[in-house]
Structure 1
């Protein structure tokens, strides 16, 4: 995978170099992850990772468990930044259990390509900060990581996902089924092409 080295790409969270790699392909323990975060730990990982036993909410249909973004696990309140110049195009509060909570989608143009970036599991306050139509520069604040009560009841983290297609709303399938995997990989590229080797 070629990392696009451009000075306009900004880290999506601070201290991203300090993130440990977190592999959830062998199981998900929210208590352990929460304790790790509360002790100041930071972790990243998950693109194209099959995560058994993690996505049990009804809307996953007990079939979708292959992750299409990168998760950055960090304390609630952590600032989330725009990776590049762009515009807020969609926002929503997906408040149901296991969903994204506060969600913002930006449209970027990077190396002459239009790409959409979803920032999920944000605080409610983030939706007041980033409103549709707002222009952002690389490094501007998109929002803040939400507490479990406002992020779909997950340990605090950012779900960051890219799409070559306009999603048309503040939503993208963060996990897909095995049947949809190959098609999804063509639409939702590995964020490390822009962010570099964050894990």
Structure 2
């Protein structure tokens, strides 16, 4: 996944049209806090900043460390358009105990229980890279 910092209340916009898959609170200390998972079927770039693939890919995006008030109105199946505000970054007291930021993670498999592993063991790296594409494919070449 990718962590993007900003002030609490910073809006998180949809990179493409999609649908809400899950709304939850991962309330373990140090976890994602309020979490929104969206589902998409769009053509992704083949490489970060590169040309788009010919076929659409179905995938999910986990947005973590959000403000609960900003996601409480969503329900699974709700649809949204490109550029629509999905949520806002949460305060440290509600977002899992972190300075305000958003965690963005892609998955080729539907997340179970509103969660994805934010980190994996070194020996699981290759398998994780196959399941969880680089979030810069939707965020752009940030580095």
Instruction: Report the TM-score when normalising by structure 1.
Output: 0.63
**1:181 is the counterpart of 2:125:** yes
Q: What is aligned with 2:26?
A: 94
Instruction: Kindly provide the CA deviation profile for residues 133-184 of structure 1, in whole angstroms up to 9, marking residues without a partner as x.
Output: 1101111111110001110000000000001111133211111111211100
SS in 2 for 1:148: coil
Number of positions where the alignment pairs a residue of Structure 1 with one of Structure 2: 131
Runs of 4+ in structure 1 deviating by more than 6 angstroms, as ranges, are none
Map of 1:1-199 to 2, 5 A cutoff?
69-111=1-43, 112-199=56-143
Which whole-Å CA distance do the structure 2 matches of 1:74 and 1:130 have between them?
23
Gaps of 5+ in 1: 1-68
Runs of at least 5 residues in structure 2 that lack an aligned partner in the other structure: 44-55
- Relative contact order higher in (CA < 8 Å, ≥ 6 apart): 2
Q: Distance in 2 between matches of 1:194 and 1:141?
A: 16
Shift of 1:94: 1.1
Deviation at 1:102, TM superposition (A): 0.5
TM-score by length of 2: 0.87
Shift of 1:131: 2.2
**2:37 & 2:59 partners in 1: Cα distance?**
10
